[in-house]
Amino acid sequence: MQSNRLGWILLAPTLVILFFFGVVPFFYVLWLSFHQWNPFALDPAVVYNGADNFRALVFDSGFLASLGVTLAFVFFAVLSELIVGYLLAQAFLKDFPGKAIFRTIHTLPLIMAPIIVGSIWKLMTTPSIGIIPSLLDSWFGFDLNIGTSAVAAFTVTVVMDIWHWTPLVTLTLIAALVSLPADPFEQAQIDGANKRQIFWHITLPMIAPALLATVFIRLMDALRTVDEVLMLTGGGPGSATRYLGVHIFKEVFPRTNYGYGSAVSIIVLYLTIVSCWLLYVALIAPRNKKA
Amino acid sequence: MRRQRTWLYLLFWTVVSFFTLFPIYWLFVISVKPAVELFSTPEVILSSVYWKNYVDVLNDETLRGYMVNSLIISTGNAFLVTVLGFLACYALSRFNLGGKESIFFWTITNRMAPPAVFLLPLFLLLTQVYRFGDFTLLDTKIGMILVYCTFNLPFAIWTLRPTIDGIPKELDEAAFVDGASAWTVITEIVLPLARPGLAVTLILTWVFAWNEYLLAATLTNFNARTLTTGLSEYVTTTGTEWGVMAAISMFTLIPALIVFSLVQRHIVAGLTFGAVKG
Amino acid sequence: MKFAYKLSVSAIALAMMTGASFAQDIQIKNPEWWQEAGKKFDGATLRGVTESTPASNYVADVLAPKFEELTGIDVQIETTSWDQMYDKAIKDMEAKTGIYDMVYIEQDIVYAYLARNFLVNLTKALDENAELKAPEYSEDNFTTFAENFRGSDGGLYGVPMEAFIKVYLYRTDLFNDPKIQAEFKEKTGKDLKPAKTHAEYTEIAKFFTEYGKANGMDLWGTTAQAHTGHPASWYEYFESVAPTYGVYNWGIDANNNYAATVENGGTMNSPEAKEALKWWLSMRDIAPPESVQSTWTEVATTFAAGRAAQGLVYGENAAWIATDEEKSRVVGEVGVALPPLEPGVLEEAESGKGYIGYYDGGAFGLPVTSKSQDAALLFMQFMALPEIQEDWAAAGSRITLTSTYDTPKVKEVDKELGGYYSMLRDDGKLFKGAPEYPFHRQVIEATSPTFYEILTGSIGPDEGLDMMAQKAEEELKNLGYRK
């Protein structure tokens, strides 16, 4: 084994960059979250107000509602992406003609910027002039109106997210699946295991680290979704799709409520870290230690 | 039996591709329609094609500049984070560093931050703190490459870690015993084996950088503006120019497709590697 | 790495190409003065930020190159989206970075900027630097819209760049169709002509929505800027609809401790405000279905696509709706009128007590943090030269100098526009910009979630306005304006 000094040297550039561009801004936001600051208040100064922001948060119905819809959004979107993404990745492992083309097609949504995705879906779903409501109406007589129906708007944001991000899950899972060794599978087949047993007892444990890494990435990205939703619904109708990213955006940008917005961000960050940490400690860390 | 299977796959993928492609097809439809036609009952099949949006985009030098900026920033960032992430993962995987699991987890927390509120400190840091004489990182490509590390470097580390961990330690230990230097081991033994993971990481970090909007919108002004910020110019109070915006979006697909096809080969290479290894 | 190197080389090549953009041929009366004045600043670069509108794009594409040709001062204009523009300008001025030498100031945010002393007093600066004062520039040239940009010291803090009123547009082809007129007469017993009151407007709107349905046409009786998640709906109600019911300045009384609720002396939830909201909602219900997702952009496009017989539309869109065949299906079929009113509102507006609609627009201001203030002063005056206004008006349908009304191109467009420019000149005084509050977007963001709930129907309009008035007072208290 090499000396640990080399290890630290290899790690150093990463730590330095993340420190200067991640940690330092974080401390600024943390500091700000204990202050009242709106540059357009009568007194535009930054004033220390202790834990007032955090106290207000607990009773802020707007924030709590936003937290609720965000969790629902993340749950439906990420779960669907995982299931669909895994199935598609499996389907890509088989050989069939035209596979390369299909794989390229499948990755296309990924290369579209969120603001473009939001725009396309907005144009496709605008009541009466969008193609989707128009077709649904003429085929099934179903009225899809994302401007008035909270359920419709929520569903469209979830479907949009699935469309956009499933390819990410597929790609990372393909990478994980192709590097699996073949022996355990052969052994299992010899032992007469069925498909379901192989999946639960061999495939899943072996791809678990990659799968969880993907879950984490999708989880935290979905939690901070802004551009797409802002473009598609603006957070409406009402507050139906005012997800935390959008909520914070509106708090900080138009309302210039920096102190309170920072407090909201800190809480959101804290909740994300804690829930990810729990998942991580339970599922990944022991594995890495063994390795 | 085999043939039937093949047909089933083809049918399955055709259906999946239809759903994947439809929004992109619709983007194309929007790009070849005059704006006023978007506000009428839509037709699935195009009856006439209107190319003016594309002509406008092709004649716009500013947009070409944005395209170049986007390419430099996302390519630079993707290479930087993939290399740094690879080295970091190698360190985390092979060395017995104190608190390394905490460090590993901590890296990802950098990606969790809600972006809106972090714009202000980043703006202040880039303009006032990280400056060298008159040179500030604001509105520079190198500044954006570094800022994008906050969300891409954690991603690279997290997607590469399983790959590096999966490469048997015995391989590099054997090489060390044979007297190879650390550099040789990393570049000639670990790197080739990690290729599929590196390729996926490179693609995805490139995509994240290519698509980023909020940070670029705040932290660039004249010299380092990216295509996504250029798009926002077409969303105005006097009329969102959906057609032009869609035409630009179609153009942004081209470089992305090229990068994808270049890198995808390596994922395929990984496929055979997996088979051989077994 | 080689690849990246090649890319950066081609980036430099491209950047060099973009420098050579052409300047349209505009004639300046006194070029020698500008050449002389510019000598001092040769090689200087001015940076501005603005929203990408036709009027601003004209500044970037035509005025800036011409100015550079004359003075040798390079002008870079960053055009971006509406909310990005604010955010960037505010961050720059707040942090005193000095990135921008010119910022676009929409009429509704100037009071916030003035309260924070972000801007240079242009009147004073030019008085103190007589050698910088261009002979053709005079504050007297401006229309009354410039008054919006004067501080309490009387100085001018922004050079007006664009100005519009939100007008009542109607389709002349439909209103003048004898068959439709006959049918309308038969149904209502009245002649079909642009509405003067809300009752008349309602009648016409209902008639056309039914007419469209009966004839299988994509036609509705009114527009509505009623997005359920974007403040555009908030703006339409408070700035264009409520005033026509006599509820002014968002129902907030600045002279009475910024009261919003009726019990404290405000009018945000007054009976008139509630009536106005209910009327507007009833119009929204018979507007084209896309209205629930419509901001100003979509409303204009809805009208341009021929889907509405009448509606309130921002003036900056009136010109292209009436004249641009590529964007509009109703070219030459657009009439302009004053918004429909409740009785008594017009008298209040004429006496200066109230107003009948929204006067919108913006100016370029000079941040105190700018590092090239003197050179920027030159460009500010350049934009206000009478001789460059005519083409600019044609390109961006904006007028900020009184003399521009009489130029041939404007007069011609005025005819096609059904007299929009004449209305801007003659009746502009009946319209008013946003109230003089330094807390615009703060109050809007504090109250708009409730407003969106009213729009979706989950809160009733009466109860909703009560809640909004309370929320507004709460926010004003938090901000320190309401004691």
**pLDDT value at position B238?**
57
Q: Are A202 and A184 in contact (CB under 8 A)?
A: yes
**pLDDT value at position B268?**
56
| Inter-chain residue contact B101 with A262, CB threshold 8 Å | no
* Residue C464 to residue C268: CA distance in whole angstroms: 11
| Domain at B59-277, CATH from 1.10.3720.10, 1.10.10.60, 3.30.1360.120, 2.40.30.20 | 1.10.3720.10
In a domain, A43, yes or no: no
A61 touches chain C (CB under 8 A): no
Q: Are A260 and A41 in contact (CB under 8 A)?
A: no
* Residue B243 to residue B250: CA distance in whole angstroms: 11
Task: Using the predicted structure, report yes or no on whether residue A145 has a pLDDT greater than 90.
Answer: yes
| Inter-chain residue contact B116 with A183, CB threshold 8 Å | no
**pLDDT value at position A211?**
86
Kindly list the residues from chain C whose CB atom is less than 8 angstroms away from the CB atom of residue B233: 52, 79-81
Band of the pLDDT at A284, cuts 50, 70, 90?
A: low
A237 touches chain C (CB under 8 A): yes
In this prediction, residues A83-94 reach a mean pLDDT of 90
Kindly identify which residue of chain C lies nearest to residue A256, measuring between CA atoms: C442
B198 touches chain A (CB under 8 A): no
Coil vs helix vs strand at C165 = strand
* Residue C71 to residue C126: CA distance in whole angstroms: 18
pLDDT tens-place string over residues A25-77: 999 999 999 999 999 999 999 999 999 999 999 999 999 999 999 999 999 99
Kindly identify which residue of chain A lies nearest to residue C440, measuring between CA atoms: A255
pLDDT tens-place string over residues A167-217: 999 988 887 887 777 788 888 888 888 888 888 888 888 888 788 888 888
Work out the number of other CB atoms within 10 angstroms of the CB of residue A169.
25
Which of C93, C96, C228, C307 to mutate to probe the A interface, most A CBs <10 Å? C228
DSSP states along B64-111 = HHHHHHHHHHHHHHHHHHHHHHHHHHHHHHHS--TTHHHHHHHHHHHH
Ranges in chain B, pLDDT < 70: 1-3, 235-239, 267-278
Coil vs helix vs strand at B126 = helix
* Residue C63 to residue C215: CA distance in whole angstroms: 49
A22 touches chain B (CB under 8 A): yes
**pLDDT value at position C6?**
45
In a domain, A42, yes or no: no
Which residues, 6+ apart, have CB-to-CB distance to A52 below 8 Å? A36
Work out the number of other CB atoms within 10 angstroms of the CB of residue A214.
27
C305 touches chain B (CB under 8 A): yes
Q: Please tell me which residue, A71 or A287, carries the higher pLDDT value.
A: A71
* Residue A185 to residue A202: CA distance in whole angstroms: 7
**Whole-number average pLDDT of chain A:** 89
Q: Which of C87, C289, C452 sits opposite A238 (nearest CB)?
A: C452
Q: Which of A7, A110, A248 sits opposite B207 (nearest CB)?
A: A110
Structure tokens at B212: 């980023």
C-alpha of A133 from chain center: 27
| Inter-chain residue contact A280 with B105, CB threshold 8 Å | yes
Provide the shortest C-alpha distance from residue B213 to chain C (in Å): 11
Q: Are C366 and C101 in contact (CB under 8 A)?
A: yes
How many domains does chain A contain in total?
Answer: 1
Kindly list the residues from chain B whose CB atom is less than 8 angstroms away from the CB atom of residue C323: none
Domain that holds residue A274: 63-255+263-290
Kindly list the residues from chain C whose CB atom is less than 8 angstroms away from the CB atom of residue B259: none
**pLDDT value at position C10?**
45
Phi-psi map region of A13: left, alpha, beta (phi>0 left; psi -120 to 50 alpha): alpha
Provide the shortest C-alpha distance from residue C332 to chain B (in Å): 16
Provide the shortest C-alpha distance from residue A168 to chain B (in Å): 8
Coil vs helix vs strand at B221 = coil
**pLDDT value at position B1?**
47
Which of B32, B39, B263 to mutate to probe the C interface, most C CBs <10 Å? B39
A157 touches chain C (CB under 8 A): no
DSSP states along C201-250 = HHHHHHHHHHHHHHTT-S-BS------SSSTHHHHIIIIIIGGGGT--GG
In a domain, A227, yes or no: yes
CATH number at residue A242: 1.10.3720.10
**H-helix or E-strand spanning residue C166:** strand C159-171
Kindly list the residues from chain A whose CB atom is less than 8 angstroms away from the CB atom of residue B23: 109, 117, 120-121, 124, 163
Kindly identify which residue of chain B lies nearest to residue A176, measuring between CA atoms: B163
Kindly list the residues from chain C whose CB atom is less than 8 angstroms away from the CB atom of residue B234: 52
DSSP designation for C142: B
CA triplet A272, A278, A280: central angle to 5 degrees?
95
| Inter-chain residue contact B39 with C99, CB threshold 8 Å | no
Which of A3, A10, A211 to mutate to probe the B interface, most B CBs <10 Å? A10
Please report the sign of the dihedral spanned by the C-alpha atoms of residue C4, residue C8, residue C11, residue C13.
negative
The alpha carbon torsion through C247, C253, C254, C256 (nearest 10 deg) reads 160
> How much of chain A, in percent, has pLDDT values that exceed 70?
97
In this prediction, residues A143-166 reach a mean pLDDT of 95
Kindly list the residues from chain A whose CB atom is less than 8 angstroms away from the CB atom of residue C229: 233-238, 241-242
Q: Please tell me which residue, C264 or A105, carries the higher pLDDT value.
A: C264
* Residue B155 to residue B150: CA distance in whole angstroms: 9
What predicted TM-score, i.e. pTM, was given to this entire model?
Answer: 0.91
Q: How is chain B split into domains, by residue range?
A: 1-50, 59-277
pLDDT tens-place string over residues C218-230: 999 999 999 999 9
| Inter-chain residue contact B40 with C305, CB threshold 8 Å | yes
**Helix %, strand %, coil % for chain A, to 5?**
75, 0, 25
Place of tokens 């690849």: C3
- C79 forms beta bridges with C50
Q: Which of A6, A106, A265 sits opposite B16 (nearest CB)?
A: A106
Q: Are C75 and C56 in contact (CB under 8 A)?
A: no
* Residue C173 to residue C152: CA distance in whole angstroms: 48
Domains in chain C with CATH codes:
26-164+360-422 (3.40.190.10), 165-358+433-479 (3.40.190.10)
Q: Chain B window 86-105: which residues touch A at a Cβ cutoff of 8 Å?
A: 87-88, 90-97, 101, 103-105
| Inter-chain residue contact A179 with B277, CB threshold 8 Å | yes
Task: Using the predicted structure, report yes or no on whether residue A150 has a pLDDT greater than 50.
Answer: yes
In this prediction, residues A232-240 reach a mean pLDDT of 91
ipTM of the complex as predicted:
0.91
Q: Which of B72, B232, B238 sits opposite C54 (nearest CB)?
A: B238
Kindly list the residues from chain C whose CB atom is less than 8 angstroms away from the CB atom of residue A39: 90, 94, 116
Kindly list the residues from chain C whose CB atom is less than 8 angstroms away from the CB atom of residue B68: 7, 10-11, 14
Q: Which chains sit next to C, with 3 or more Cβ pairs under 8 A?
A: A, B
Coil vs helix vs strand at C482 = coil
Instruction: Output phi, psi for C25, to 5 deg.
Output: -80, 100
Place of tokens 């039996």: B1
Identify which of A76, A19, A31, A58 has the alpha carbon closest to the alpha carbon of residue A243.
Answer: A76
The CA distances from residue C184 to C85, C193, C203, C218, in Å, are 47, 10, 9, 19
Structure tokens at A70: 């965000």
* Residue B160 to residue B108: CA distance in whole angstroms: 13
Mean pLDDT by 10 residues, chain C (483 residues): 43 40 66 91 90 85 92 92 87 92 93 94 94 92 92 94 93 96 95 96 97 95 95 95 96 95 96 97 96 91 94 89 88 94 95 92 94 94 93 86 92 88 92 92 95 96 97 95 93
Q: Please tell me which residue, A268 or B266, carries the higher pLDDT value.
A: A268
- b/e sequence C53-74, b meaning 16+ C-beta within 10 Å: bbbbbbbbbbbbbbbbebbbbb
Provide the shortest C-alpha distance from residue A182 to chain B (in Å): 4
**pLDDT value at position B269?**
52
* Residue A6 to residue B182: CA distance in whole angstroms: 9
| Inter-chain residue contact A182 with B278, CB threshold 8 Å | yes
| Residue A210, burial from CB neighbour count under 10 angstroms (0-12, 13-18, 19+) | buried
